């Protein structure tokens, strides 16, 4: 069904035929339809849903996940995965919180948060590239370590009352639009440029398709991997900056769900978990799908536990349909 639908949409949008499509136009169009249906359902059940205030809230809640998801898309296209991004975000956030408590100014604190994220991402990438441990296992290991670091530093107590000097990045408004939208725009434009318009992006895709082939043509596979994970780490560090800017505290359970949500959004958005293909735009729509589901279910009075059921179920449906499509092609 999905296949038939996607091929129909593809033919409409991409007349040269499915075989020549360089990106997942079909998936993105379908997600747009799914989002419209979702919004229509929630809007019919809650008159508050489509209010400007609620939509702004959804957007603000989506900023950190969106930023992380851009990096996750690149890592998944590379044929990797990173389940430790929540831990990276947490460690960066703790460092940011402590730095603020020591009275450091924004221009010191922000680079600390970004550098910490990039360094931990690079650590993940180095372990994966050098030891050839499967990325899911390697990052599961580092996730436990990062979470332990969080608890050791934070000691079970929230860091709170942090300055509001950067809150405008998420909560502010610019030219009539929420500031978070610009942050997302800049990060996705940058990611798109790196992935689709540079040799580096070509190498990422090639490694995701066939690592051996990439090595044979002289691509520096290990270095590219480390850079991709470091980029994801950098984005997780930025997400930590934005998180602290928005909520002005660091809680003990910070970053708990973000890795799984980012992976889910990326796959909903059309990325192949085996690497090689994926879509930044699709991933961003996947984020919106998840965040709108969370928001809408709360508004119409359904327990938020159902949100995970909806997203988990949808993920399985997408993966099964992908598997069918892969079998059909081969």
Partner 1 sequence: MTDPLKLSMRGLVKRFGGVVALDSVDFELRRGEVMALVGDNGAGKSTLIKTLAGAHMPDEGVMEIDGAPVRFTSPQDAWNRGVATIFQELALAGKMTIADNIFLGREIVRKVAGIPFLDRREMHRRSKELLERLDVVVPDIHTWVEYLSGGQRQGVAIARALNIDAEVIVMDEPTAALAVAEVRKVLEFIKALRRQGKSVVLISHNVQDVMEVSDRITVLRRGRRIGLLETANTTPEEVVGYITGAALAQKQQLEQA
| Contact call for residues 104 and 96 (beta carbons, < 8 A) | no
Kindly tell me which of 160 and 198 has the beta carbon lying closer to partner 1: 198
Q: In whole angstroms, how close is the CB of 328 to partner 1 at the nearest point?
A: 13
Asked if 228 is part of the footprint of partner 1 (rule: CB under 8 A), the reply reads: no
Kindly tell me which of 103 and 199 has the beta carbon lying closer to partner 1: 199
Asked if 222 is part of the footprint of partner 1 (rule: CB under 8 A), the reply reads: no
Q: In whole angstroms, how close is the CB of 77 to partner 1 at the nearest point?
A: 9
Asked if 213 is part of the footprint of partner 1 (rule: CB under 8 A), the reply reads: yes
**Rounded-to-integer distance, Cα 278 and Cα 134, Å:** 20
| Contact call for residues 224 and 94 (beta carbons, < 8 A) | no
Give start and end residues of each alpha helix (H) in 46-132: 52-77, 85-101, 106-131
Give start and end residues of each alpha helix (H) in 198-220: 199-209, 211-216
The CA radius of gyration of the chain, in Å to the nearest whole number, is: 20
**Rounded-to-integer distance, Cα 245 and Cα 165, Å:** 7
| Contact call for residues 89 and 258 (beta carbons, < 8 A) | yes
Asked if 199 is part of the footprint of partner 1 (rule: CB under 8 A), the reply reads: yes
Asked if 176 is part of the footprint of partner 1 (rule: CB under 8 A), the reply reads: no
Kindly tell me which of 8 and 220 has the beta carbon lying closer to partner 1: 220
**Rounded-to-integer distance, Cα 109 and Cα 114, Å:** 9
Kindly tell me which of 166 and 271 has the beta carbon lying closer to partner 1: 271
Binder of partner 1 out of 46, 115, 260, 276 (CB under 8 A):
276
Listed residue (26, 38, 107, 110) closest to 291, CA to CA: 38
Residues 178-196 as b/e (b if ≥16 CB within 10 A, e otherwise) read bbbbebbeebbeebbebbe
State the DSSP H helix or E strand holding residue 136, giving kind and residue range, or none if neither: helix 135-154
Binder of partner 1 out of 74, 99, 219, 238 (CB under 8 A):
219
- What are the tokens at 8? 């129909």
Scanning 142-150, 156-164, 173-181, 196-204 for contacts with partner 1 by CB under 8 A, the matching segment is 196-204
Kindly tell me which of 233 and 278 has the beta carbon lying closer to partner 1: 278
Asked if 217 is part of the footprint of partner 1 (rule: CB under 8 A), the reply reads: yes
Q: In whole angstroms, how close is the CB of 212 to partner 1 at the nearest point?
A: 7
Footprint (CB under 8 A) of partner 1, residues 17-76: 19-20, 22
Asked if 198 is part of the footprint of partner 1 (rule: CB under 8 A), the reply reads: yes
Binder of partner 1 out of 54, 57, 202, 256 (CB under 8 A):
202
Q: In whole angstroms, how close is the CB of 330 to partner 1 at the nearest point?
A: 8
Which spans of this chain sit near partner 1 (rule: CB under 8 A)? 16, 19-20, 22, 196-199, 201-203, 205-206, 208-210, 212-219, 272, 276-277, 329
């Amino acid at each position: 069904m999905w296949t038939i639908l996607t091929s129909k949409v593809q033919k409409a949008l991409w007349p040269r035929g499915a075989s020549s499509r360089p990106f997942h136009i079909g998936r993105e169009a379908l997600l747009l339809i799914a989002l419209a249906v979702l919004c229509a359902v929630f809007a019919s059940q809650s008159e508050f849903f489509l209010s400007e205030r609620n939509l702004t809230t959804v957007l603000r809640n989506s900023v950190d996940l969106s930023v992380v998801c851009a990096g996750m898309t690149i890592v998944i296209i590379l044929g990797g995965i990173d389940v430790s991004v929540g831990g990276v975000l947490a460690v960066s956030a703790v460092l940011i919180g402590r730095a603020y408590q020591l009275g450091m100014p924004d221009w010191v604190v922000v680079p600390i948060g970004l550098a910490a994220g990039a360094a931990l991402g690079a650590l993940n990438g180095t372990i994966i590239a050098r030891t050839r441990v499967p990325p899911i296992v390697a990052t599961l290991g580092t996730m436990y370590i990062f979470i332990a670091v969080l608890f050791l530093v934070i000691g079970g107590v929230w860091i709170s009352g942090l300055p509001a000097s950067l809150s405008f990045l998420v909560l502010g408004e610019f030219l009539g639009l929420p500031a978070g939208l610009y942050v997302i725009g800049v990060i996705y434009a940058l990611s798109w440029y790196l992935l689709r318009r540079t040799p580096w992006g070509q190498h990422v895709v090639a490694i995701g398709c066939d690592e051996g082939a990439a090595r044979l043509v002289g691509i520096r596979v290990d270095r590219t991997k480390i850079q991709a994970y470091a980029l994801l780490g950098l984005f997780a560090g930025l997400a930590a900056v934005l998180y602290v800017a928005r909520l002005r505290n660091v809680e003990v359970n910070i970053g708990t769900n973000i890795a799984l949500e980012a992976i889910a959004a990326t796959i909903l958005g059309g990325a192949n978990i085996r690497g090689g293909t994926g879509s930044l735009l699709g991933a961003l729509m996947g984020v919106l799908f998840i965040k709108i589901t969370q928001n809408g279910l709360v508004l119409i009075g359904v327990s938020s536990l159902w949100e995970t059921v909806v997203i988990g179920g949808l993920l399985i449906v997408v993966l099964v349909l992908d598997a069918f499509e892969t079998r059909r092609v081969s």
